[in-house]
């Protein structure tokens, strides 16, 4: 939850459906950033 809060402390939208979409976008961004930071190992040989 702390990582989600790093992208913004408050939700912009007041409508529940839009809030859900906003949170999903934030989670997708965090997943993408996490994937970029994970090292890829390749077996040699």
**pLDDT, position 17:** 93
pLDDT one-digit tens code per residue, 1-45? 666 666 777 777 788 999 899 889 888 988 888 888 877 778 887
**pLDDT, position 5:** 66
**pLDDT, position 43:** 83
The Cα 20–Cα 18 span in angstroms is 5
The Cα 45–Cα 27 span in angstroms is 37
0.75 surpassed by pTM: no
Helix-then-strand count for the chain, H and E: 2, 0
């Amino acid at each position: 939850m702390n990582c989600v809060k790093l992208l913004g402390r408050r939700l912009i939208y007041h409508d529940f459906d839009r809030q859900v979409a906003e949170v999903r976008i934030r989670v997708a961004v965090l997943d993408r950033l996490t994937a970029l930071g994970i090292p890829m190992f390749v077996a040699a040989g």
